[in-house]
């Protein structure tokens, strides 16, 4: 069965430090991969997406993610955390089977310390 | 104006009551979804609709029903609410593969509390 695993339900970094949020997926077919961000009291919004055009994907607010097929991973990074990055981040996989359904990971809450 | 709107934004109800959550979108998308979010569980799909005449159950459809009144409107009903349906509910839309590989656009959410 296809699945999405986000390692770490909570991640805490200091302002200015590297942000690394991990996502691994399992899929028997080539996936489309997404990272969404949810700020407090808001819905999810797209941060970036991988659609097979390039393995390194740049998104909004300085985030990027790299698709590594051999590791079945799509980790999200940002070189320097900002206080405004504090939010919950969701990795998602859309599978090209039976109508392109999307599966979401459980989410990782990012805390940024001053 | 928001592309995907949900009403109400907050609702407190009692066990056994019938509740309807409404979703409207102005994005012109055919596909609409209802999810619930619980802490530590991420988003779980309740129902989805790929067009007005196509409605499908998601992974947790028991206790819920939906109605797709028009391309732009998709409502979720709890026929007889129970406390474990207390959650944050999101509506989302997408254009399918042609529209960005099924990137989804979310409403602001409805926080439902069942006492």
Q: What integer pLDDT is reported at residue B36 of this predicted model?
A: 96
Q: What integer pLDDT is reported at residue B103 of this predicted model?
A: 85
Count CA within 13 A, CB hemisphere, residue A81: 21
pLDDT digits (tens, 9 = 90+) for A18-42: 999 999 998 777 778 999 999 988 8
Q: Shortest CA distance to A85 belongs to which of A35, A49, A51, A50?
A: A35
Q: Which of B41, B101, B105 sits opposite A49 (nearest CB)?
A: B101
Q: Is residue B101's pLDDT more than 60?
A: yes
Q: Are A106 and A9 in contact (CB under 8 A)?
A: yes
- Answer positive or negative: Cα dihedral of A106, B109, B33, B59: positive
Q: Check if A20 contacts B (Cβ < 8 Å).
A: no
Q: Which of B100, B103, B107 sits opposite A43 (nearest CB)?
A: B107
Q: Check if A94 contacts B (Cβ < 8 Å).
A: yes
Q: What integer pLDDT is reported at residue A67 of this predicted model?
A: 92
Q: What integer pLDDT is reported at residue A55 of this predicted model?
A: 87
Q: Is residue A100's pLDDT more than 80?
A: no
pLDDT digits (tens, 9 = 90+) for B29-84: 989 999 999 988 889 999 999 889 999 999 899 999 999 999 999 999 999 999 99
Q: What integer pLDDT is reported at residue B20 of this predicted model?
A: 97
Q: Name the token pair of A27.
A: 């899929």
pLDDT digits (tens, 9 = 90+) for B3-34: 999 999 999 999 999 999 999 999 999 899 99
Q: What integer pLDDT is reported at residue A34 of this predicted model?
A: 93
* Contacts A41 to B, Cβ<8 Å: 108-109
- Contact check, Cβ <8 Å, A99/B106: no
Q: How far apart are CA A56 and CA B97, in angstroms?
A: 21
Q: How far apart are CA A75 and CA A21, in angstroms?
A: 6
pLDDT digits (tens, 9 = 90+) for A56-82: 999 999 999 999 988 999 999 999 999
Q: Name the token pair of B102.
A: 């099924």
Write down the number of H helices and E strands in chain B.
0, 11
Kindly tell me the burial class for residue A34, based on how many C-beta atoms sit within 10 Å of its own C-beta (0-12, 13-18, 19 or more).
Answer: buried
Q: What integer pLDDT is reported at residue B70 of this predicted model?
A: 94
Mutation for testing the A interface, residue in B9, B50, B103 having most A CBs under 10 Å: B103
């Amino acid at each position: 069965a296809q699945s999405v695993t986000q390692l770490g339900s909570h991640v805490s970094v200091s302002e200015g430090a590297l942000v690394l949020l991990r996502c691994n997926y399992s899929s028997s077919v080539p996936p489309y991969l997404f990272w969404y961000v949810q700020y407090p009291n808001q819905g999810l919004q797209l941060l970036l997406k991988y659609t097979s055009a390039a393995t390194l994907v740049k998104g909004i607010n300085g985030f990027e993610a790299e698709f590594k097929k051999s590791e079945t991973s799509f980790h999200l990074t940002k070189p320097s955390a900002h206080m405004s990055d504090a939010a919950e981040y969701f990795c998602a996989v859309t599978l090209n089977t039976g109508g392109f359904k999307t599966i979401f990971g459980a989410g990782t809450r990012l805390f940024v310390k001053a | 104006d928001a592309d995907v709107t949900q009403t109400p934004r907050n609702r407190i109800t009692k066990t056994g009551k019938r509740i309807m959550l409404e979703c409207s979108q102005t994005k012109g998308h055919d596909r609409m979804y209802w999810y619930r979010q619980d802490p530590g569980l991420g988003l779980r799909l309740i129902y989805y609709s790929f067009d007005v005449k196509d409605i499908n159950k998601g992974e947790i459809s028991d206790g819920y029903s939906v109605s797709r009144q028009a391309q732009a409107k998709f409502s979720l009903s709890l026929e007889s609410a129970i406390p474990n349906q207390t959650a944050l509910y999101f509506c989302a839309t997408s254009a399918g593969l042609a529209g960005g590989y099924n990137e989804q656009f979310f409403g602001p959410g409805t926080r439902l509390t069942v006492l």
